[in-house]
Structure 1
Amino acid sequence: MKCLDVFLRLSFVTLIALAQTTHEYNFTTGWVKANPDGMHEKNMIGFNGAWPLPDIHINKGDRVVIRLTNGLQNLKTSLHFHGLFHKVSEGNQNEMDGPEMVTQCPISPGDTYIYNFTVPDQVGTFWYHSHSGAQYTDGMRAALIIHDDGAPFEYDRDLTIQISDLYHKPYFQVMEEFLSRYNPTGAEPVPQNVLLNNTVNATINFEPNKTYLLRFLNVGNFISQYIYMEDHEFTVVEVDGVYVKPKTTNLLYIATGQRVAVLVHSQKTSSRNYALMQGMDATMLDVITPGLQLNRTTKIEYDSGSNDVSEYFIDSYKDAMNDFYLEPLDKMEILDDYDYQITLDVKMDNLGNGVNYAFFNNITYVAPKIPTLSTVLSAPEDLISNPWIYGDNINAFVLEHGEVIELVVNNYDDNRHPFHMHGHNFQIIQKSQGFDEDPVPYNESAPIEAFPGIPMRRDTVVLEANGHVVFRFVADNPGVWMFHCHVDWHLEQGLAAVFVEAPKQLRAMEQLSDNYKQVCRNSNMALKGNAAGDFRDWLNLENLPRQPAPLPEGFTLKGFLALAVSVLIGIWGLYTIVQYGFNENKQDDEELYSKLKKILHEAGQLE
């Protein structure tokens, strides 16, 4: 049976190879001076001395070969192809997925990693970006479009539109200030601007009476954005590489990591130009800094001789399209009841070093000593399905081949989180609204609404503030797949889990490439062992990197409030002494004691 499986796999690969075109790229990373918003020159991460990075356009069934050389002198790097499945059964390798310490070792300065994969059956709008630290914040990102001659809609022109946020400081400086005890509330860094196609001065040219396919990609780090166009409608036809039943809307909401392709019919005449608007989701900001421009205008140009367009505003953002109610065009029905349910509770809290971290089930992701893929491919047969060897610091879950997985994510945080899954699309079977006050976790016995018969599928979905979302997918893609928030600041805080999917099947089909081994050696990383790098005692995790210790007793939010109240009382006490010194009247000590007692009682420091 194993020989037959190998024969069928090789036959499939041979057929793909006969039909495909190979697209080869040689990229070297490096810092490039740029001024994306015309307000601040900074270093961006470019390829071959140029920035922005090139968009990659291929056709269904093609092969991509990227030789990535790290030209950053003091930083390691990697590359992830957002939304691609990299199915080993289709001739690919799990190591091509790219996140460092998950499916590969980081690429050291001067080293080269070769990404080599096919896309036999995926089509639509994708992108590629660094998966090391928050690197892509500084521009190491671009679109990857897989064209489909058999697309179920017609159009005259295909346009790719990247939206993003911009930070004037380098990403590592922003991250250092963010993950600091001097930022105990975990307030996310506020961007200085939003961009469209890497600038604030883009123009999109329209001709009258044409149909345009606009592919919107939010390739930013943090802010979700609203998109709307003056006197034009959007017809949604694809979401995250999934064709959907056409849905017309005037307002899109696109979180980081999400992609939405829409058809737009242009006006019949070229008598004037129109505004395409980007609006920041200001509810995600803890503070709106002075001078921050929440809206940006891009000109839809019909007539190059007419004046620039004016800002165009709508009354409310409440009517933005809700992806839960989209329907995939293939009409794939809801998966039957799950075999394995995983619940992940999202929380944000401080640990003993004073830094605010993000948690799944009280565990903040801390990278293991060797990539998890190395552990899968080197583990003893009797331990390969034991989640312990993958570490209790990465939220590791072992999935058996063919299981229907139900993933429940409850939000105990008052911000939105766009969650992205590597290696899969998932069915969205529940998606609550946001809640202002107490969190509302998923109640399996009383769901908020009936499960959809044909649920929407995508790879990145927004978890609303204090709400919940429920996914289902089939564990039919052997590999090590990351699941994480695509607000990259939150990923750096530790909001991630790892699914070790069908490890026995994966090991039967995949071996580490020579290039993988070379890159690991050049990063001084072992090629075998458990998460702690121990290959002699696989159950010994003594040297496992772990999250900081909890806050000492008393250093809680209530403790900080009590400290603040104590400081205020001290200042007020000094003030009364000064007043007493300048006042001939005698101080009423009883009245003063009563006031102090009242303040302490309200602060919870006096019963």
Structure 2
Amino acid sequence: MAFSMRCRFLPLFFSLISLSWAGTVTYDFEIGWVTANPDGQADRPVIGINGQWPLPVIEVTVGDRLIINVLNSLGNQSTSLHFHGLFMENSTHMDGPPQVTQCEIPSGSRFTYDFEVQQPGTYWYHSHARGQYPDGLRAPFIVHDPDNPYKDQYDEEVVLSVSDWYHDEMPGLIASFMSRQNPSGAEPVPQAALFNDTQDLSLSLQPGKTYFVRMVNIGAFAGQYVWFEGHNMTIVEVDGVYTHPAEAEMIYLSAAQRCSFLLTAKNETDANFPFVASMDTTLFDSYPEDLNYNVTGWLVYDDKKALPAPAILETFDALFDDMTLVPYDEQAILPEPDQTVTLSVIMDNLGDGANYAFFDNITYTHPKVPTLYTALSAGSQATDPSVYGAYTHSFVLEKDQIVEIVVNNIDPGRHPFHLHGHNFQALYRSEEEAGTFEDSNVTSASFPAIPMRRDTLVLYPNGNIVLRFKANNPGVWIFHCHIEWHVVSGLMATFVEAPLELQKTLKIPQEHFDVCASQGIPYTGNAAGNTVDLLNLDGQNTPPAPLPAGFTARGIVALVFSCISGILGVAVIIWYGLAGSESDPGLRSTAAALVAESEKVDSASETLVVPHDGASGSHGVASGADTRS
């Protein structure tokens, strides 16, 4: 199943033949460790499939049944697969997030994903377990469409991924990130950017041909500015939604976003052209010495000619605004909402000293029973959100409700928010530093009549967004920031959609329950595993306790020692001033003694000072130059 070619061209005639038949597509995936060095800087273990990395691109046609037989051969980690952007209609149990719709697949175990693909477009698949996918378990997922409205306007397809890349493995990075030694919550910064999991990508173009380029950001953290020198892009799809054509010189893809565009080759072959992805470094709290935030590929017309260096850009003024896109189907704005969910993004420390991400006052903590299994086993109480636990931030939706999500960013960083099981209408996005939506003068009358739709949207620093969708897909779906560090630190909420309908229509394969049982994970009852009293949540999983209000005993001691140190420091300065000259050794010796005593007090104070003060982390603070090459 592994693909060895970095550049994946799909001849049109082959595509049309394959698209004319819908059937069953089967992949056998053995997930295990291999060694790779995609940026040429460091060999490291990565998660491969069938002994190969990069991973295979999954390709199906609208209407196909997809079966993926997974064998976890990692040896030291559990795993799962999520099919990002697919609605998983009638198959919410195949969506993949552990303790949401399934239990993790332990090492040595098998698990089958089996579902129908009912929507065309550009997607990707990745692990949704343990912050794992940045270690390599991610690749594009393409759903071909015989009725693609642009099928007569291009000659070939190209699949192009962009990503950030870390030299260290995620378990160690997560341990450092979620620790009292990182009280500001500074996210680990990647070392490199990649195209198609390499830094040596060339795409051969034929003069005059038009290419349908499917581009996916499969990274963990960095958004990417992307441009093709000497060529414009005509955007025709975002996140699986066809759009009216829109010309762009430069696009921005956050982690998890996709964009498909038509790119027409020049008629001349007298030069080759670079194309560039440049990481959004405003997301980073620091600039490590080994940071390589650009990656360059080349559009090659003549492989005997030079591959030129890209031009240096001073600004990103040419950036295309995705909020201006118009869906091809021109779906009108949904009616006024039946339910509005308002969430505020907050970063703060808890009692273990680490920095966590919160929606309002809740940092997501997974339940003991997967939320879907609670919905299926709770009977009539499945409509009570409390049975899903205090820390899953669950909202119960009725079938076909119109739901509006308002997200206020009380944080100076960007956040790409993703909704499982749906795409949403993006009704509004404020500029940076606009404050909350409630404090704005914006009303629903100003929302577009035909809003842009996608499944992942970037929320700007200290700004707000308004999203709307119809709850027409019964299931358990999570809403989360797709920066993987923020998933790890808890920036997630849960939508339990039409649970009573699920109880009537959904049957979980026994294999799924067997995987839970093999790990001692209960699969009936409430979030605490209580099957008798579903409103009794004693024993549910909880995050660390909040920081105590005011001073702790250790804090008081530290403050006293710090004050004494300060007083002694002032006294030292006075004594040195009175000493005046070299002729008074008595004064000098007394001053020296005070210095020594002050140092003792400082040393004692350092051992007692609480290592954090509960302040929010400095997420997204820009540093360094903006000039990109």
Give yes or no for TM over 0.5.
Answer: yes
Name the counterpart of 1:94. Answer: 92
* SS of alignment partner, residue 504 of structure 2: helix
Change (3 A) 1:424 1:575: farther
Equivalent position to 2:401, from 400, 403, 411:
403
TM-score (normalised: structure 1): 0.88
Name the counterpart of 2:596. Answer: none
Name the counterpart of 2:339. Answer: 340
Name the counterpart of 1:41. Answer: 43
Name the counterpart of 2:78. Answer: 76
Change (3 A) 1:549 1:158: same
Change (3 A) 1:180 1:571: farther
Name the counterpart of 1:136. Answer: 133
**Deviation digits for residues 219-272 of structure 1 (CA, Å, limit 9, x no counterpart):** 000000000111110110000000001100101000001000011111111101
Name the counterpart of 1:60. Answer: 62
Query: Following TM superposition, by how much is the alpha carbon of 1:567 offset from its aligned partner in structure 2, in angstroms?
Result: 11
Distance 2:564 2:75 in 1: 47
Change (3 A) 1:521 1:297: same
Q: Which amino acid aligns with 2:96?
A: G
TM-score (normalised: structure 2): 0.85
Query: Following TM superposition, by how much is the alpha carbon of 1:300 offset from its aligned partner in structure 2, in angstroms?
Result: 1.3
Distance 1:45 1:448 in 2: 46
Change (3 A) 1:504 1:196: same
Name the counterpart of 1:306. Answer: 305
Name the counterpart of 2:286. Answer: 287
Contact residue 161 and residue 215 of structure 1 kept, 8 A: yes
Q: What is the identity percentage for the equivalent residue pairs of Structure 1 and Structure 2?
A: 43
Name the counterpart of 1:258. Answer: 257
Query: Following TM superposition, by how much is the alpha carbon of 1:72 offset from its aligned partner in structure 2, in angstroms?
Result: 1.3
Matched, 1:123 2:120: yes
**Deviation digits for residues 77-130 of structure 1 (CA, Å, limit 9, x no counterpart):** 100000001111xxxx2111010000001111111110001112x111001000
Change (3 A) 1:574 1:110: farther
**Deviation digits for residues 489-510 of structure 1 (CA, Å, limit 9, x no counterpart):** 0000000001000111111110
- RMSD over aligned Cα, in angstroms? 2.4
Distance 1:125 1:565 in 2: 59
Change (3 A) 1:514 1:310: same
Matched, 1:502 2:498: yes
* SS of alignment partner, residue 158 of structure 2: strand
**Deviation digits for residues 189-235 of structure 1 (CA, Å, limit 9, x no counterpart):** 11011111001111111111110111110000000000011111011
**Deviation digits for residues 271-324 of structure 1 (CA, Å, limit 9, x no counterpart):** 011010111111111111124222221111111001122122333213311111
**Deviation digits for residues 396-416 of structure 1 (CA, Å, limit 9, x no counterpart):** 000011110011000000000
Name the counterpart of 2:523. Answer: 527
Name the counterpart of 2:233. Answer: 234
**Deviation digits for residues 442-471 of structure 1 (CA, Å, limit 9, x no counterpart):** 447634981000000100000110000000
Name the counterpart of 2:149. Answer: 152
**Deviation digits for residues 517-553 of structure 1 (CA, Å, limit 9, x no counterpart):** 1111112112211000010111110101111111123
- Runs of 5+ unmatched residues, structure 1: 1-17, 590-607
Name the counterpart of 2:220. Answer: 221
Name the counterpart of 2:7. Answer: none
Distance 1:571 1:463 in 2: 50
Contact residue 102 and residue 372 of structure 1 kept, 8 A: yes
Contact residue 55 and residue 142 of structure 1 kept, 8 A: yes
Q: Which amino acid aligns with 2:112?
A: I
* SS of alignment partner, residue 236 of structure 2: strand
Distance 2:188 2:570 in 1: 36
Name the counterpart of 1:51. Answer: 53
When structure 1 is superposed on structure 2, of 449-458 and 306-315 the one drifting more is 306-315
Distance 1:570 1:146 in 2: 71
**Deviation digits for residues 560-582 of structure 1 (CA, Å, limit 9, x no counterpart):** 99999979958965973795597
Contact residue 377 and residue 511 of structure 1 kept, 8 A: no
Name the counterpart of 2:460. Answer: 464
Equivalent position to 1:416, from 414, 417, 420:
414
When structure 1 is superposed on structure 2, of 229-238 and 295-304 the one drifting more is 295-304
Contact residue 191 and residue 293 of structure 2 kept, 8 A: no
Contact residue 335 and residue 472 of structure 1 kept, 8 A: yes
Contact residue 442 and residue 468 of structure 1 kept, 8 A: no
Name the counterpart of 1:182. Answer: 181
